[in-house]
Amino acid sequence: MIDKIESLRVIPVVAIDNVEDALPLAEALTAGGLPVAEITLRTDAGIAAISKMAELEGFLVGAGTVHSADQAKQVVDAGAKFIVSPGFNPRTVQWCLDHAVPIFPGISSPTDLESAIELGINVVKFFPAEQIGGVKMLKALQGPYGEIRFIPTGGINVDNLGEYLSLPSVVACGGSWMVKPDLIRSKNFEEIQRLTRDAVQSL
């Protein structure tokens, strides 16, 4: 899973309102060169959207904004192949470990990283990336936590993407600039495909 995500380098982070948009969105992302998405549970359509995207062969769908072990079970049952949480919830992490589900829990401090190490997690979400120091903070963490790798998310766009990806500790970056809710709501999948392709070409 880590190798697959690292090969893609960017994970579109999606909040989707209508289930009917899930499959066209997955197809647009795939056509743009990013057959992957983190579907957040910020909307009521999240779990159903995961189910739809999981039907597309070759598409890697994960679940984000997962706050509990119960939610983790629901998204895995729906077809999610990986889980992302905004913070570090030991119970959620432990459920995923017990069920061999890849999880990237959110961290924002050395204390969070100590919790991750304690449970054997070595790839974490760095969130909210730009707001908590961005690339400078990641460089500072690389020293004492050289064994940890990061998926920065929050405030990342095509302009600062390269700076993050240049760090050896960064597996991939999460971003939503190519999948903005207004583009999805207006069913502008052609523009989503273009923005996705631009992101891939910038790597």
The catalytic site residues sit at 38, 125
Q: CATH no. for residue 39?
A: 3.20.20.70
Residue 203, pLDDT > 90, answer: no
The pTM assigned to this predicted structure is 0.96
Residues 102-132: tens digit of each pLDDT = 999 999 999 999 999 999 999 999 999 999 9
Banded model confidence at residue 200, pLDDT cuts 50, 70, 90: very high
d(CA 107, CA 112): 5
Range of the domain at 129: 2-201
Enumerate the H helices of the chain as residue ranges.
Answer: 2-8, 22-32, 46-54, 69-78, 90-98, 110-118, 134-142, 161-165, 181-185, 189-201
pLDDT in tens, 129-187: 999 999 999 999 999 999 999 999 999 999 999 999 999 999 999 999 999 999 999 99
The domain total for the chain is 1
